[in-house]
Structure 1
């Protein structure tokens, strides 16, 4: 989906987090125009545009049961996890309830209305995953469903932030 000249598959591709005011602590998130995705790779920064997540689904492959994270999807989970860690470091730790809502919405209505800044940022992350990996709609839904189950497992109450804390600790190692 990307121009082969524009990205290096050996380097990490990071999704930019839109910030309105960097002087506040935490920084104030800016409104995200979902189809216009800011990407950084090394010192390079560029914009990639995509009309929708549905337009990026390819094939009709059925996923295996995702009781655990199958190796075939490790890169997809890692990209989502890394994006969550970066978001948590810059904006703050999302609540487990937010994870649950966002993953559920991405699974059921990938291009549905925005639930807010965190949802829009993960929508962009999902777009990059779909643009860099061949995934069917069924595979994408299975990945989101697995993440939704993880969020449900981490959630202990309405205000808990266990999933983001866990991921941040995992990437700190």
Structure 2
């Protein structure tokens, strides 16, 4: 958790006690092309949009909590984390006007787990990373919990994949989430 980021978001009127209601806003350039996030994370709440400087993922891990088995429905305390990540993915797909493939979602979540502060050419990676940085700034999450959540998302994308090019994860899980 990053108390400085929490205070800054609260002063801006954002409801930090419900991170699942916050959004990482999709940014576009002058040609309306979705841009990769660099540095600051654009956070959208009921009170509007604000750019926030957040620490890297690896600096935000807190404690040594061991996650429960997430192979089934996640326990209620993990649902806001899942919702923030999945709504970010859904909003990205809505912004670009097409769903990502199941294979690409799986790859991006795997990359996020392996290299949480890394870089990827796909713009969606930076938004997923921004959502993780936002959530970890608001809640205490251990490295093991982070890895378990992101691993579960990667597995979910893989489970929904039926063939090369399938978009079942988007259609069956993400579609309909918060504006998608």
TM range (shorter): 0.7 to 0.9
RMSD of Structure 2 on Structure 1 (CA):
1.9
TM (normalized to structure 1)? 0.87
Which of 108, 129, 145 is residue 123 of structure 1 equivalent to? 129
- Counterpart of 2:80 in structure 1 is 75
Which of 10, 31, 35 is residue 36 of structure 2 equivalent to? 31
How many residues of Structure 1 are paired with residues of Structure 2 in the alignment? 167
TM (normalized to structure 2)? 0.84
| Equivalent pair of 2:16/2:138 in contact (CA under 8 Å) | no
Structure 1 segment 33-112 matched on structure 2, within 5 A: 33=38, 35-68=39-72, 69-91=74-96, 92-112=98-118
| Equivalent pair of 2:67/2:148 in contact (CA under 8 Å) | yes
SS across alignment from 1:99: helix
Do residues 149 (structure 1) and 149 (structure 2) align? no
Tell me the alpha carbon deviations over residues 36-93 of structure 1, each in whole angstroms, 9 at most, x when there is no partner: 1011112322111124110111111111111112222011111112112211211121
Structure 2 regions of 5+ residues with no counterpart? Answer: none
- Counterpart of 2:164 in structure 1 is 158
Q: Which has the higher contact order (CA 8 A, sep 6+)?
A: 2
More strand by share: 1
Shift of 1:170: 5.9
| Equivalent pair of 1:54/1:110 in contact (CA under 8 Å) | yes
- Counterpart of 1:168 in structure 2 is 175
**Alpha-carbon distance in structure 2 between the residues aligned to 1:41 and 1:146:** 26
Shift of 1:151: 0.7
Structure 1 regions of 5+ residues with no counterpart? Answer: none
| Equivalent pair of 2:103/2:157 in contact (CA under 8 Å) | yes
| Equivalent pair of 1:38/1:45 in contact (CA under 8 Å) | yes
**Alpha-carbon distance in structure 1 between the residues aligned to 2:15 and 2:145:** 25
| Equivalent pair of 1:102/1:115 in contact (CA under 8 Å) | no
